[in-house]
Amino acid sequence: MELLERRFGLHAAGTSVRTEVTAGLVTFATLSYILFVQPAVLSSPGCGMDPGGVLFATCVASAVACFLMAFRANLPVALAPAMGHNFFFAFAVCAGMGFRWQEALAANLVAGLVFLALSGVGFRERVMYAIPDGLKHAIAVGIGLLIALVGLEWGGIVVDHPVTLVQLGNLSEPVPLLAITGLLVTSALLVRRVRGAILIGILATAGLGAAAGWGFDLERPLVLGPGELALPSPVGTAFELDFKELFSRPLGEWLSVVAIFLVLDLFDTIGTLVGVAEGAGLMRNGRLPRARLALQADAVGTALGATLGTSTVTSYVESAAGTASGGRTGLTAAVCGVCFLLALVFSPLLQSIGAGVDVGDGAAQVMRYPVLAPVLILIGALMMGGAAQIRWSEPLEGIPAFLAIVVMQLSVSITEGIAFGFVSWSFLSLVAGRARDTSPIVHAFSVLFLLRYAFL
């Protein structure tokens, strides 16, 4: 105990070992849904990564990043692959732009290394502050809606239509029924402010799905049974990065992917660190102590994650659940790191709960994820708060924000939404005679996006 006291300064921070361990467990329970979601997202059609390898990479990279946050920055912030970033990786870069996942991992590693280099020179703050607040909020809202749309599709609540593109699914079928039931159960837990509501909701939905499989004569099981407990193998994803194919693509194509990986990481990391630190009372004169070390932990996590086989690792806003439970030092993050490593042992259970269900026959066969669908829908709902921060009555801000959000949904591409937002903001600021009020960085990105469209 004395060693922990000296290492983390518990007394000076007004906390104790018991409080920090409790806070770490609460934080992990709150964010552990990523262990179910990440393998499903990156193994989805169009991306096709090995789910076992993704889970191994997720656990190891998250644990290392948490330990760095704990022992170097001494902050109660946990890290893991970010929601939104994984969808950009799988659905925009791989499925949408045609990158192989090996190339996408290489691009993500480049972004992580650039982020690590920028962590020591202050450029990250300039990029972060250069992007108008309205666009930042719009990008977050758009990603949230896109995640929710995927959740509705994964649950069979919304299905495709040859004319209207989407329509309501058959809600009397087992998969949508389980997804809707899970949505109601998890929503109720969130409304009651139950700690670890999302994790409990996942387990409850999986339990209901398993019970339905036992009690009814279903054509296909809704939840697969777990195998024997064993460590997942990194073979299949680790060290599979393909720089040769990545850099053989047109410069503007791969550079735009790296840039968006980098910018999204900047948004999440700085915003999350400041938000969690303010809530925990850790800010000092408006600045976060040891912020540079915290950003380095984030960058190392991303680089290691890409090397092993997962998408961008970043600071998690769910860390606020831990600070609300009294976490004030890096011991909270260290406990999360230990939990990530322990989760490796239970990987068969994690993968069985997050496994997909084949529905339909022949060419109409699709994969559904009724246990995970409620989580994605609710994460989308929780990301909608930024919409209230957009000045909709100001056309210069409202129109680009709207375009960023709506194009992101209709193109099913985070990249295209960001592009329309940036280009329209630059154009309207020029028309309004306020081009100088917008950072040159935004104008530069807009030109790059236009060149990309011109040479598609």
- A 10 A CB-CB count for 120 gives 11
Q: How far is CA 283 from CA 181, 202, 278, 290, 321, in A?
A: 41, 34, 6, 10, 17
Residue 181 burial (C-beta neighbours within 10 Å; 0-12, 13-18, 19+): middle
**What's the CA gap between 298 and 315, in Å, rounded?**
7
Place of tokens 């280009």: 423
**What's the CA gap between 58 and 81, in Å, rounded?**
7
**What's the CA gap between 18 and 24, in Å, rounded?**
10
- CA-nearest of 308, 274, 303, 262 to 77 is 274
Q: In sequence order, which ranges of 281-413 are alpha helices (DSSP H)?
A: 291-308, 319-324, 330-343, 347-353, 373-382, 395-410
Domain ranges of the chain: 2-131+233-359
- End-to-end, the C-alpha distance of the chain in Å comes to 61
CA 64 to chain CA mean position, Å = 18
Each of the 456 residues of the chain gets a pLDDT tens digit; together they read: 678 888 898 888 889 998 999 889 888 987 888 998 899 899 988 899 999 999 999 999 999 999 999 999 999 999 999 888 898 899 889 998 899 999 999 999 999 998 888 766 656 556 656 778 888 888 888 888 888 898 899 899 998 888 888 899 889 888 899 999 999 999 999 999 887 788 888 889 988 888 876 756 566 667 666 655 566 778 789 999 999 999 999 887 898 899 888 877 876 777 677 667 777 778 777 677 888 888 889 999 999 999 999 999 999 878 887 887 788 999 999 999 999 999 998 887 777 777 777 776 555 667 788 888 898 898 888 888 889 989 999 999 999 999 999 998 888 777 788 889 999 999 999 999 888 888 888 888 888 788 877 765
